[in-house]
């Protein structure tokens, strides 16, 4: 992937990794479509993008609103834009045990993290195929590779994304569609602050592991390096990523480690 002169659609662009990736991409003379629920945050990102000499178009989106997703894609494509890359970072996490999590919370998390991502992908993918190809990237997580306490629905939603996007790649590699899953570790974003507790309230604080994680800017650098190489999975983080190798080669040991880790 050569970023220069191309058009990318980024969700979750108002903060965290979505914002940092947007700003990093804007250094390559790109056109960026920026989406998030946070309209004020999008304006801030757009200003940073334009200061770097790239173009920014704001398209506010609630990833739980499927009709709005399809309507927004129709509007964007109707204006003649060619989407070269769709990078999705929008999502919501949780901080509650399986036994105390209401089913409504599970559904909310799946609606945003899985069905919203699926809807936007389905709306954009035919356009990419018609125009000769494109790149899809979606934010997964370490817990998209294994279960983790207090993250049941969040983990499940990320697991589901792997199956969905791996299938897209198998079906559409011949159409020059490339897929990258972003395996995020400890990164200093607001995802734990906005995670929902068992009663649906916001968790309201950054977990200690995240607070000690890498910056969103460093994460963006790792992500763009992987996207440029069109890697199917891009680990994002620091020393904690060793857990992926432990899971692969020592699954029994991994299970013991996960049971003992502090989830918050």
Which sequence positions are flagged as catalytic?
154
- Location of structure tokens 């040991």: 253
Cβ-Cβ contacts under 8 Å for 157 (sequence gap 6 or more): 91, 109, 110, 113, 114
Structure tokens at 51: 């200061």
DSSP 111: I
d(CA 10, CA 233): 18
Q: Cα separation of 34 and 60, whole Å?
A: 8
To which residue do tokens 């993290």 refer?
113
Place of tokens 């936007």: 120
Hey, which residues does 18 pair with through a beta bridge? none
Listed residue (122, 34, 31) closest to 70, CA to CA = 122
Q: Using CA atoms, how far apart are residues 22 and 12, in angstroms rounded to an integer?
A: 10
Q: Is 80 left (phi over 0), alpha (psi -120 to 50) or beta?
A: left
Strand order in the sheet with 233-236: 55-58, 31-35, 7-11, 85-88, 134-139, 177-184, 233-236
If we measure between CA atoms, which residue out of 134, 130, 224 comes closest to residue 182? 224
């Amino acid at each position: 992937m050569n970023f220069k002169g191309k058009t990318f659609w980024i969700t979750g662009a108002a903060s965290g990794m979505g914002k940092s990736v947007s700003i990093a991409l804007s250094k390559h003379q790109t056109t960026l479509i920026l989406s998030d629920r946070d309209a004020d945050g999008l304006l801030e990102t757009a200003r940073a993008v334009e200061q770097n000499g790239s173009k920014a178009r704001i398209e506010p989106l609630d990833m739980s609103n499927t009709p709005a997703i399809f309507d927004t894609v129709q509007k964007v494509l109707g204006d003649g834009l060619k989407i070269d890359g769709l990078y999705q970072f929008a999502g919501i996490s949780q901080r509650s045990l399986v036994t105390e999590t209401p089913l409504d919370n599970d559904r909310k998390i799946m609606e945003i993290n899985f069905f919203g991502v699926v809807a936007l992908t389905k709306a954009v993918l035919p356009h990419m195929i018609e125009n000769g190809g494109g790149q899809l990237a979606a934010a997964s997580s370490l817990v998209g590779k294994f279960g983790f306490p207090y993250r049941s629905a969040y983990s499940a939603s990320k697991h589901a994304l792997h199956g969905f996007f791996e299938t897209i790649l198998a079906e559409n590699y011949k159409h020059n569609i490339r897929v990258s899953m972003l395996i995020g570790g400890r990164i200093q974003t607001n995802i734990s602050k906005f995670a929902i507790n068992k009663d649906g309230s916001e968790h309201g604080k950054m977990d200690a592991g995240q607070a000690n994680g890498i910056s969103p800017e460093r994460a963006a650098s790792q992500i763009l390096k992987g996207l440029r190489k069109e890697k199917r999975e891009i680990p994002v983080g620091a020393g904690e990523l060793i857990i992926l190798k432990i899971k692969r080669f020592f699954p029994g040991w991994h299970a013991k480690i996960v049971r003992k880790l502090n989830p918050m």
